[in-house]
Structure 1
Amino acid sequence: MSIQSEKVQEIVNSDKFKQLVKKRLSVSLTLTAVMLIIYIGFILAIAFNKDALAYKIGKHLTIGLPIGIGIIVFAWLLTGLYTRWANQSYDKSVEELRDQILQK
């Protein structure tokens, strides 16, 4: 076993790495679940309550269109939230773990 693969095994087996993987999975699954709930809720509203989304809020505009656009914007915001978390927290933790192991 080479030195490089020993360091890789040390990283993979460390508690910090396992916690980091668990945290990333938790954050990404939470954001995915939130987006899916909102998107599926909108689709179910289209399927089962068309009248509510057909409510006119202007001469040629119904409430469904701003809600649909809002869902798209919300998806962008969730993406931004994940990116911000990754840049501020996750990436720093990965670098610290890597540096800690490589300095040994």
Structure 2
Amino acid sequence: MSPDDIQRICQNPDFIQLVRRKQNLYWSLSLIMLVIYFGFVLLVAFSPATLGRPLSDGVTSVGMLVGVLVVLAAFALTGFYVYRANRVIDPLNDKLKQECAL
């Protein structure tokens, strides 16, 4: 692949759109997960008594519930990423490969 081919691909509007959509998806999902994670860390650091408080007369505590919610949020964000990648990013990638076939 010559430098001219690389330059042609980089200037392709579909390539620019693909890169922009991937970056938006990565940054937004990373930011959401960081907010969830650091919210949990701050809760542990500044209010550890809250985590040990039972929800009812049972053995389930607030900390256990919050931990489960953090794990479920990670799975949900991963599922959302896979959904968006399959619906938006992969078709753009395939279109770009067809347009720029050498």
The residue number in structure 2 matching 1:74 is 73
Q: Tell whether 2:91 aligns with 1:92.
A: yes
Structure 1 counterpart of 2:98, one-letter code: D
Q: Of the candidates 11, 14, 18, which is equivalent to residue 13 of structure 1?
A: 11
- Aligned positions, number: 100
In 2, are the aligned partners of 1:55 and 1:63 still within 8 Å (CA)? yes
Cα RMSD of the aligned pairs, angstroms, is: 1.6
**Structure 2: any 5+ residue segments left out of the alignment?**
none
Following TM superposition, the consecutive aligned residue runs of length 4 or more in structure 1 with deviations greater than 4 angstroms are none
Greater relative contact order (Cα 8 A, min sep 6): structure 1 or 2?
A: 1
Q: Given the two structures, how large is their TM-score scaled by the length of structure 2? A: 0.87
CA distance in 1, matches of 2:66, 2:21: 31
Give the structure-1-normalised TM-score: 0.85
